[in-house]
Structure 1
């Protein structure tokens, strides 16, 4: 009898192995006091068992926050398993009214949207009154880098609704709540007239505590309420083990609706962090997940951290003490050593997650930048300027010293976030923790410097209008008109793009007006570019004033206006508005 019991116990353990990997058993007295000290409503899941969730927590509704990404990804994966969609199909073909299909660019697919690598520009905060198509502005090619992308998730939602002809709330009930044995009322969406574009769709929806636990358990076991597979093994791997995007073996990996991080001797899956909502730190290989159902920021504006970050730190420290190693840093370094060593490294970078507004791009060059300098083959220094409200140190520039850990990877200490450069030649990116930078080189330095002199260049060019009444020749009078018209059109266009672009596009929803002033700006640039050539013609043909004050100052004035015209043209190129006619 005892022998048969042993056999039965072994069979049960073997059956559980595929679901939880190297399952470990954590005692509540070793876990709950530590996580509830940071978040009283927190609980954890060990295998199929939930520990620390009270009846009150189970029946309380919590905002989803960024965990909404995970739920949308689950729906997309279920529909892919059912053959309703393909994860590799171009989204533009299903939504031609929202996004153009360009055969010469990498087509945006559901995989890009779930990994947040579609490349959409960050929406401007507090401007949410426009339809989705006005926000679908790409700032980089698809698949290059993974950034928080609420616009990409809204496009995924529209794609799923288009393919199924059902609203997303019904899809969540059909593909997620029902298979998990949950009633429809476990999820309550927040109805708004206009979506909050800077936020993930459904992030304001609230989910009942027991549904939060069921959702988090999917990171540990691929099972629905009946014990049947929730997803195919291939799709389930996109949730836990196979990143859709990873820049470097020592960096994080973008999974479907979540991220996989590695540090110390563990790797884990993270849902949410500092933005209000559900936060989950899961160790799928060990069958353990720590859940904070309401990770809200500290109320103090001066706080340098958030409740979600503190909860993650507490969960990781508990895992270090109780969960066997699930990741080897040395193996990751060995994989990184196979990369080709860079010929040059470092330079000037700025924050990669910027909006399409020229003001944001220019000011971002000064308020959020990274300047890296390679001292020798093993040492790198970096000067860092953090942006306001970053989840790091906000203040004066920091100077840090890093030591080489692997090709493209540098570390100051184990307690600091590593500095990792892109080993690919697709834009030149760098990461410090979750903060992403894009290389801007010398142009990034001149972007802000040159902008300070735009008013002076405009004034200098406007003085050319003094030649409209010139008696020297008709060519001089034409030169004066070119100066006046060109400077006025360019000055107005730059001013309008700097101050009015988001208001006109998102609030007035009049993109034709932006096209109008940008067309005028480019016409003005063509007029100004004619000034240096006209100046050279005057000198070569000796078509210069022959008496009076004009005889003394005409030459220097021509040179000054030519320099101002060339400088203004180069500045608009650096700012990215020269040659741009459409509103977005």
Structure 2
């Protein structure tokens, strides 16, 4: 009898273990009453609704099936599809993308290898397409790397195009077919979508968004079985796939992982916020489409405070942060870097308009002065003005009103996040209005060498004049092409070799003008120099003026990222 009881207990234990292993990592633990929540939520966004477990509250039947397009929603569709392919063994999270797509990504052992992890967390480092121009037809024309993979996370439409290509290659199907098989059919969704979710965004409806929220909360297909493996589901909702700082921004496969006062959530989009632990998601299609963000965010936070009990945050992150070396030399000028552009016009405009200045105060405090308000949709950073931040841990600061300022602890290119908005250190070289104001004088100084084209002092002086005029002309023409023709050559004509040609000309011009200070030194030391008249008085200052102009022009090309760059990609 005792043996029989033991066998039954063992069977029951095995059954419980199997049952627990089949449950999602986050089980529903909070039930929200619609009468308490909806009036407040609708006040922030009339089309807002929330999902509680598998129940959907506040979704208007008239708009539930209306067409809806959004970058982040399309990204989530691709992410879910990629995770399904990982579960099937067709993709690997940390395998180099170059192994699957050698026609798009070159294998380079001397660079950080781009992986699926980077594409899922939007840390690939690709330049974004220029505003006002169509997305390049050929993917390879778009793959312009501006920073190493894994450094920082920012919206990356080009990385998503590459993710599309990776999914197509790994599955052996067209994008429409693989989405049908891995996303729409398993979730019981009627597919009303176009072929590509990024270049031609996938058409979703609020009802589909609600179904996606249920998936994030419960990991269930339409038949009740698990949509993802337990490991992939954890990567989606709680696994940290990218970390900027122990207390700073971090990302799962679904979106940014946020934490405040003992509550944690996943932000797929400012209008799509999911609390996996509590089993609740809040969605506002109008906010996802670019509507007001602050009111919806604040309303969701108030609901969370009132209804979700706080949970303990592991001390390991704080201990890891405090173990970092105290920062030095973090003050200076920083420029917005969440939409990096390869077009000179856009870069200079951004450096001129969207910057902050960080100053160090006594007691380890920092003062941040914003030149312009941060767009509401970009994050919750403070408005235009000055804000004081207090140290919490090395490289991590917080203001009295709760804004967070986090610097890269490894100084990865001098980046910081101001409450989720990315900035890059530019220092004095980021003062673009001042640098651009010097250009006319610089070219005028170089052009003044024309008086030495027929110099009687000999060939060295005539050679110097030729170098100054030719170098100035090459650099001036290349700068104009970068300013006016770059997006046309890349996007409309699709001839990136033109960019390579004028950048080569620019660097040849730089070599010519950088030889001018050396020639000037040689003239002063060994001659020939004028020996009488006004030429004797003016020759030295004129050589100095040309030399200063040459060095200034070189520094301007360095500040604009053109010096030493030859290829378009």
TM-score (norm 1): 0.87
Distance 1:466 1:148, change over 3 A: same
Shift of 1:336: 2.8
Alignment-derived partner of residue 266 in structure 2 = 269
Q: Which runs of 5+ in 2 are unaligned?
A: 1-15
The answer as to 2:68 corresponding to 1:76 is no
Q: Is the 8 A contact 1:251 1:261 kept in 2?
A: no
Q: Is the 8 A contact 1:70 1:257 kept in 2?
A: yes
> Which deviates further from its counterpart, 320-329 or 69-78?
320-329
Shift of 1:297: 5.6
> Which deviates further from its counterpart, 256-265 or 149-158?
256-265
Alignment-derived partner of residue 562 in structure 1 = 547
Shift of 1:83: 0.8
Shift of 1:468: 1.3
d(CA) in 1 for partners of 2:510 and 2:423? 31
The answer as to 2:343 corresponding to 1:337 is no
Q: Is the 8 A contact 1:295 1:308 kept in 2?
A: yes
- Which of 455, 463, 480 matches 1:478? 463
Alignment-derived partner of residue 154 in structure 2 = 147
Q: Is the 8 A contact 2:236 2:252 kept in 1?
A: yes
Shift of 1:551: 3.1
TM-score (norm 2): 0.89
- Which of 40, 47, 58 matches 2:46? 40
d(CA) in 2 for partners of 1:129 and 1:241? 33
Find the residue that maps to 2:345 and give its secondary structure.
Answer: helix
> Which deviates further from its counterpart, 381-390 or 371-380?
381-390
- Which of 106, 113, 134 matches 2:141? 134
Distance 1:546 1:337, change over 3 A: closer
d(CA) in 1 for partners of 2:373 and 2:118? 27
d(CA) in 2 for partners of 1:510 and 1:59? 42
Correspondence list, 1:3-152, <5 A: 18=24, 20-21=26-27, 23-130=29-136, 131-152=138-159
Distance 1:120 1:327, change over 3 A: farther
Find the residue that maps to 1:405 and give its secondary structure.
Answer: strand
Distance 1:162 1:330, change over 3 A: closer
Alignment-derived partner of residue 227 in structure 1 = 224
Q: Is the 8 A contact 2:396 2:406 kept in 1?
A: yes
Shift of 1:345: 3.5
Alignment-derived partner of residue 370 in structure 1 = 356
Shift of 1:81: 0.4
Alignment-derived partner of residue 546 in structure 1 = 531
Distance 1:98 1:314, change over 3 A: same
Alignment-derived partner of residue 13 in structure 2 = none
> Which deviates further from its counterpart, 58-67 or 162-171?
58-67
Distance 1:327 1:174, change over 3 A: farther
Alignment-derived partner of residue 506 in structure 1 = 491
> Which deviates further from its counterpart, 44-53 or 25-34?
44-53
Q: Spell out, residue by residue over 1:357-392, the C-alpha distance to the aligned partner (whole angstroms, 9 max, x if none).
A: 233333333322222122133421111223674547
Alignment-derived partner of residue 4 in structure 1 = none
Distance 1:363 1:23, change over 3 A: same
Correspondence list, 1:193-212, <5 A: 201=198, 204-212=201-209
Shift of 1:579: 1.7
The answer as to 2:240 corresponding to 1:243 is yes
d(CA) in 2 for partners of 1:331 and 1:482? 61
d(CA) in 2 for partners of 1:217 and 1:393? 27
Correspondence list, 1:215-364, <5 A: 215-273=212-270, 279-295=271-287, 306-326=291-311, 328=313, 333-353=318-338, 354-364=340-350
d(CA) in 1 for partners of 2:202 and 2:62? 19
d(CA) in 2 for partners of 1:265 and 1:235? 25
Q: Spell out, residue by residue over 1:495-539, the C-alpha distance to the aligned partner (whole angstroms, 9 max, x if none).
A: 222222222222222222222222222222222222222222323
Q: Is the 8 A contact 1:64 1:202 kept in 2?
A: no
